[in-house]
């Protein structure tokens, strides 16, 4: 085992709480949905049992309507209790009784993780693992289409930037205008009071302030989350007057791919796919075309409130490749952006915002830095498209970045320096997945 593999496994061991893994100590002491999926993909390489447990543990957070929450709070005393923001089981009887969770979801990479873990398990364990996870997935995907695609257009709508997983991506700066700023925050801003919060933030204790979202913007997001709670997480009520309503390109691209994997898993298990879900999956296969902009030659998110595309290029542009449904002529257009030094070509790839964009910031959270999970999604998409040269370029660059800089949350695309939080789980896990492929 190389010293890097050993280090990556140590990071995961250090963040292991027994049955699930925290993204990183102190700043992220709870369980996050897509973090656990990526972590399991890495664990599957050397400990498939533990990987299976990581995913099974998500079941305890599932709501009775099928939603998988983006966070399940740690019950351990001594950890910051952020569950007050959601108050899940006080607000709705849909939430599980034994754990506190958030009231929103996160990108659905779970089916992909389940399939990879299942493949790593012995034949006899595989079946019982799938028997647990496939019903979880069926309920979850049905919830997504039932509650988040009311018009049955094939694209689901997200109601909070945290649901996108790319919390602070520049596209939202153009939609944040309608994340209403409450009076108390406007006043606090004028008096510079929100700066007081800067002193109490665990994230800026562990990393530089310039690498994180501002307290002002974070408070706006907290405000938007509280309004979801006020509506009791009833999405038809939220949809009437949303603070944020986006058909996210990356979320829907991920969902489309994971729908196909779910169909494969059902086939393997001989499980019936409910007809409403089968129809929704069918509609979704071509729905991404509604996000294509002929003028710009790329896909964008759609702002549901205005009905307009949000013409800001970000890593979501390339995550579209993961969907597996992009017409060939468009694939070439997207891939050319990887080779363009004003777009996604950089010393260290892949920046989450094009280098030439006025919104590019090499070290600020989702505004330019390289993230291992977005690299992995794009690598996987390119591989399935048969674009081996590009896929390997990303794989090898990701391996190199980890070995040069460590297991950081994200990295500067200019000098490769590690940024954000150290000893970050999915960075270590996906390094192991990349190495296993090499
Ligand atoms: C940040 C990221 C989000 C991730 C979470 C836990 O909020 O934006 O994608 O799931 O941290 O790591």
Mean pLDDT, the chain, integer: 94
Domain positions in the chain are: 3-437
Query: Of 1.50.10.10, 1.10.287.3510, 3.30.420.40, 3.40.50.720, which CATH number belongs to 3-437?
Result: 1.50.10.10
pLDDT for res 191:
80
Model pLDDT for residues 58-88, shown as the tens digit of each residue:
999 999 999 999 999 998 766 667 888 999 9
Q: Is the pLDDT of residue 98 over 90?
A: yes
Q: Which of 108, 167, 218 to mutate to test the pocket of ligand 1 (most atoms within 8 A of CB)?
A: 167
Q: What is the CB-side half-sphere exposure of residue 169 using CA atoms within 13 A?
A: 30
Judged against a pLDDT cut of 70, whether residue 12 lies above it is answered with yes
Is pLDDT of 195 > 80? no
Supply the pLDDT for residue 200: 67
pLDDT of residue 139: 98
Is 360 touching ligand 1 by the criterion CB < 6 Å?
no
Minimal-distance CA residue to ligand 1 atom 3:
165
Give dist(CA 250, CA 89) in Å, integer: 30
What is the sign, positive or negative, of the torsion defined by CA atoms of 428, 210, 316, 330? negative
- What is the pLDDT, as a whole number, of residue 122? 96
Which tens digits make up the pLDDT trace of 120-164?
A: 999 999 999 999 999 999 999 999 999 999 899 999 999 999 999
pLDDT band at 43 (very low <50, low <70, confident <90, very high): very high
- Give the number of the atom of ligand 1 that is nearest the alpha carbon of residue 165: 9
Q: Does 34 contact ligand 1 (Cβ within 6 A)?
A: yes
pLDDT class for 189, splitting at 50, 70, 90?
Answer: confident
Residue 424 has pLDDT above 80, yes or no: yes
- What pLDDT is recorded for position 178? 64
28 lines ligand 1 (CB under 6 A): yes
Distance from C-alpha of 82 to C-alpha of 88, rounded to nearest angstrom: 11
- In short, whether 23's Cβ falls inside 6 Å of ligand 1 is yes
Q: Is the pLDDT of residue 13 over 90?
A: yes
Closest CA to 428 of 436, 101, 200: 436
Residue 211: active-site member: no
Q: Are 164 and 158 in contact (CB under 8 A)?
A: yes
Q: Is the CB of 420 under 6 A from ligand 1?
A: no
Residue environment code for 296-320, b if the CB has 16+ CB neighbours within 10 A, otherwise e:
eebbbbbbbeeeebbebbbbbbbbb
Question: Quick one: pLDDT band at residue 411, thresholds 50, 70, 90?
Answer: very high
> Rounded to an integer, what distance in angstroms lies between the CA atom of residue 315 and that of residue 375?
9
Strand 301-303 relative to strand 309-310: parallel, antiparallel, unpaired?
A: antiparallel
Ligand 1 atom with the shortest distance to the CA of 168 = 8
Point out the ligand 1 atom lying closest to the alpha carbon of residue 366.
Answer: 8
Q: What is the pLDDT of residue 194?
A: 66
Instruction: State how far the Cα of 45 lies from the Cα of 54, in Å rounded to an integer.
Output: 13
State the Cα–Cα distance between residues 311 and 435, nearest whole angstrom: 36
Q: What is the pLDDT of residues 324-383, one digit of tens each?
A: 999 999 999 999 999 999 999 999 999 999 999 999 999 999 999 999 999 999 999 999
Residue 396 clears pLDDT 90, i.e. is over it: yes
User: What is the structure's pLDDT at 389?
Assistant: 97
Mean per-residue pLDDT for 228-241? 95
Look at residue 130 in the predicted model and tell me its pLDDT: 98
Q: How far apart are CA 283 and CA 27, in angstroms?
A: 39
Q: What dihedral angle (degrees, nearest 10) is formed by the CA atoms of 29, 30, 35, 36?
A: 120
CA distance linking residue 133 with residue 118, whole number of Å: 10
Q: Which residue has the higher pLDDT, 214 or 345?
A: 345
- Give yes or no for a contact between 359 and 369, defined as CB atoms under 8 angstroms apart: no
- 294 has catalytic annotation: no
C-alpha separations of 392 from 60, 112, 254, 310, 416 in Å: 37, 20, 21, 31, 18
Atom index in ligand 1 nearest the CA of residue 167 equals: 8
pLDDT for 177 equals: 58
> What is the 3-state secondary structure of the chain?
CCHHHHHHHHHHHHCECCCCECCECCCECCEEHHHHHHHHHHHHHHCHHHHHHHHHHHHHHCCCCCCCCCEECCCCCCCCCHHHHCCHHHHCCCCCCCCCECCCCCCCCHHHHHHHHHHHCCHHHHHHHHHHHHHHHHHHHHHHHHHHCCCCCCCCCECCHHHHCCCCCHHHHHCHHHCCCCHHHHHHHHCCCHHHHHCCCHHHHHCCHHHCCCHHHHHHHHHHHHHHHHCCCCHHHHHHCCCCCEECHHHHHHHHHHHHHHHHHHHHHCCCCCHHHHHHHHHHHHHHHHHEECCCCEECEEECCCCCEECCCCCHHHHHHHHCCCCHHHHHHHHHHHCCCCCCCCCCCCECCCCCCCCCCCCCCCCCCECHHHHHHHHHHHHHCCCHHHHHHHHHHHHHHHHHHCCCCEECCCCCCEECCCCCHHHHHHHHHHHHHC
Residue 418: burial class (beta carbons within 10 Å; 0-12, 13-18, 19+): buried
Residue nearest to atom 12 of ligand 1 (CA): 23
């Amino acid at each position: 085992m190389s010293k890097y593999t050993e280090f990556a496994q140590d990071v995961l061991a250090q963040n292991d709480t027994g049955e699930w893994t925290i993204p990183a100590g102190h700043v992220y002491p709870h369980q996050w949905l897509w973090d656990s999926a990526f972590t399991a993909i890495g664990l599957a390489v050397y400990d498939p049992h533990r990987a299976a447990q990581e995913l099974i543990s998500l079941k305890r957070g599932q709501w009775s309507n099928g939603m998988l929450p983006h966070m399940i709070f740690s019950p351990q005393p001594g950890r910051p209790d952020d569950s007050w923001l959601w108050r899940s089981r006080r607000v709705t009887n849909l939430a599980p009784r034994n754990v506190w969770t958030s009231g929103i979801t996160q990108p659905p990479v779970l089916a992909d993780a389940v399939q990879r873990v299942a493949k790593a398990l012995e034949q006899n364990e595989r079946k019982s693992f799938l028997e647990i996870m496939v019903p979880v997935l069926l309920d979850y995907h049905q919830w997504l289409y039932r509650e988040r695609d009311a018009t049955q257009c094939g694209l689901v709508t997200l109601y909070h930037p945290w649901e996108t997983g790319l919390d602070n991506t520049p596209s939202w700066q153009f939609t944040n205008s309608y994340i209403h700023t409450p009076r108390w925050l406007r006043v606090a801003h004028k008096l510079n009071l929100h700066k007081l919060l800067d002193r109490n933030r665990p994230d800026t204790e562990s990393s530089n302030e310039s690498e994180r979202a501002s307290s002002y913007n974070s408070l706006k997001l907290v405000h938007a989350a509280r309004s979801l709670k006020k509506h009791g997480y009833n999405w038809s009520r939220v949809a009437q007057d949303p603070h944020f309503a986006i058909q996210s390109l990356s979320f829907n691209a991920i969902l489309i791919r994971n729908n196909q994997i779910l169909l494969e898993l059902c086939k393997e298990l001989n499980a019936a796919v409910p007809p409403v879900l089968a129809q929704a999956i069918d509609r979704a296969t071509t729905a991404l075309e509604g996000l294509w902009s002929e003028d710009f030659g790329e896909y964008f998110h759609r702002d549901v409130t205005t009905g307009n595309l949000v013409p800001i290029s970000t890593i979501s542009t390339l995550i579209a490749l993961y969907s597996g449904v992009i017409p060939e002529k468009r694939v070439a257009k997207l891939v050319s952006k990887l080779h363009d030094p004003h777009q996604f070509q950089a010393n260290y790839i892949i920046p989450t915002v094009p280098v030439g964009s006025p919104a590019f910031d090499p070290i600020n959270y989702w505004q330019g830095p390289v993230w291992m999970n977005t690299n992995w999604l794009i690598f996987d998409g390119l591989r399935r498209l048969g674009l081996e040269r590009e896929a390997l370029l990303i794989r090898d660059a990701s391996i190199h970045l980890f070995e040069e800089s460590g297991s950081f949350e994200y990295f500067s695309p200019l000098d490769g320096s590690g940024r954000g939080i150290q000893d970050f789980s999915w960075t270590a896990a996906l390094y192991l997945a990349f190495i296993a492929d090499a």
